Each structure stands twice: as C-alpha cells, then as structure tokens.
Amino acid sequence: MSCSKALLILLGLVGILSAAEPIRLTDDGRMKFTPVFVDGGASLTYVDFENPKVFRLKSMDWQTREVKVIHESAPAPEFDPAYSADGNYFSFLRATGGLQVSLVIRHRKSGEEVIVPPDPGFSGYRTPAIAPDSSQMLFSFANNFGQDIFRIDMKGGNRTVLTENKGINVWPSYSPDGKKVLFTSTRDGNYELYEMKPDGSEIKRLTDSPYQDLRGQYSPDGTQIAFVSHRDGNAEIYICDADGTRVRRITEHEERDDYPTWHPDGKHLVYVAERDGSHDLYLLPLEQ
C-alpha cells in the first residue's frame, strides 16, 4: 500500500471493507455482463457473450445453480436485462440489425410485449431500469452528440428527457422506495455517480474522483451503493453510503472486477470478475 493510500485511510477518506472469500458461480470463462436477481433471489439473470456474434440472456436457479437460456430461439443478440421489484415486468434490449437496438418491455404474467424501436440511423437504447411499482421506466439514449436518460411509461409512451444532454448520462437505477434515481454522468468531466428525483430534478453529485466511478446500484434497504471505480488503478468494486460518503473498497485484484449487483438479503454481492483472462460470476459475502 502506498503512503498516500495509507494516509487517506487514516483520514477516513477511503476505506477497505472486510469481506469473505468470493464464491465462484460459473466456470466457462466467457465474458458476462449485468447480473440481476429476480423474484426475491430465486434466480439470477445475466448476459453471456457466447461467441463474437451472440449475446444471450441466461437465468441461473439460485438453489441448484442450473443455468438455462431464457430465449432459445432469440432472433438477435439480447442484453441489459431489467426487472421491476414487484415482479410484474421484464425489460431487455434486442439488436435489430445495422447497429440498431430496440427496447422490449414484457408483462411477465400476461406475456404482452411492447417493442420500442430505435430511431432511424445508428441508434439504440441502453441500460433500462424499471420503477419499483412498475409505473414507469428509464433508459439511456444517444442524443445530439451526448447521451441522456429518458423516462417512458410501461407502454413505451410519454417519452421525456431527464438529463438535458449534459455529457454522457447512463446506468440509471431506482432507489428501493422509488423516490431517487442513481446514475452515472460525465457532466463534470469524467464518470461520477449522481442522484436525482425520478422527474429529473434536484441533481446531486455523489462521488468525486479523478478516475471513473460508474454502474452504481442501491442496496435493498437503500442505505448503501455498490459501484465500480478505477480510482486505485483498475476496475474494483466499492461500497459507499447512499449520500456518497464512507467509500470502501471491497475487492482488490490486478484484474477487472465489475458489474456489482446486490443479493436481496443485502449481505452479498454478485459481480463479474476477470481471473487469468477468464470472466465469471462470483458471489461475495460482505462481513457486517
């Protein structure tokens, strides 16, 4: 540890949160993205980069660890899964050819689907997030040489921009009570974590690092945020309080740790770890 890092820890500006040894969940070594727990932790959905042309949505049964493809006959690559906390909706992105991406919104009980097509030309949606009560959802979309976060209803209508084209704005995430939205933005120079109200008002910066802070996710009780930061030289997983204070690093490895998601019990994180050039899902118990 460097003298400067030791000083920061002594001053309480950055800390290291003790955690138990991570548990490896997959062993195929393929690239993986955006794990998310479903139905109170009954299963885990994630994106598997099966080959250079195929992104597949897969589901892992949390008890048996059995993995299944969600859409065996998917006509195109699918990625960025999102679920509503009440279990009613499932959303994801589907490539539609020509570097375009559509947004799919599915009611899980009725099977009804809404497909929001991309705009003409090179365009597409990214990082959808559904409000806990299924009243609305957010996504990021390239817009006038930037990238903004938009809000729509669950039928794909009433599209409203929330971030007004100030830099690149991505990875929205609702707080468990639906009263705040966490997101990543470059509006002040580099990627940092911000919060706002669901209508786009009262934007507040939460982190301040000369290196990237991104992909934040609220804990199940809304008191903490897990995120990825490059502040120590490479991608590691960190946790901070919901107001951005008490930043603690929870992984430390020379290779990449990324895409953290909270288990519904609030005591574990699942993330994507690169080890010896392979990429797999790991479960990390957090010492309380």
Domain boundaries, the chain: 75-205
pLDDT value for 19: 60
Between the CA of residue 71 and those of 58, 92, 185, 217, 259, what are the distances in Å?
8, 12, 32, 26, 22
pLDDT value for 13: 43
HSE on the CB side for 4, CA within 13 Å? 2
pLDDT value for 123: 66
pLDDT value for 6: 38
Q: What is the pTM of this model?
A: 0.90
Q: What is the largest CA-CA distance in the chain?
A: 59
Q: Quick one: fold of 75-205?
A: Neuraminidase (2.120.10)
Residue that is written with structure tokens 């938009």 in the block: 150
Q: List, for the chain, all residue ranges whose pLDDT scores fall below the cut of 50.
A: 1-14
Query: Where does the chain have alpha helices with state H?
Result: 3-11
Q: For residues 25 and 64, is the Cβ–Cβ distance under 8 A?
A: no
Pairing of strands 268-275, 89-97: unpaired
pLDDT value for 142: 85
User: Which tokens sit at 147?
Assistant: 């990238």
Residue 227: which residues within 8 A CB-CB, separation 6 or more? Answer: 193, 207, 213, 214, 215, 216, 217, 237, 238, 239, 240, 260
pLDDT value for 7: 34
Residue 87: which residues within 8 A CB-CB, separation 6 or more? Answer: 38, 39, 108
Q: Which of 282, 270, 164, 255 has its CA nearest to residue 217?
A: 270
Give the DSSP letter of residue 286.
B
pLDDT value for 8: 37
pLDDT value for 5: 40
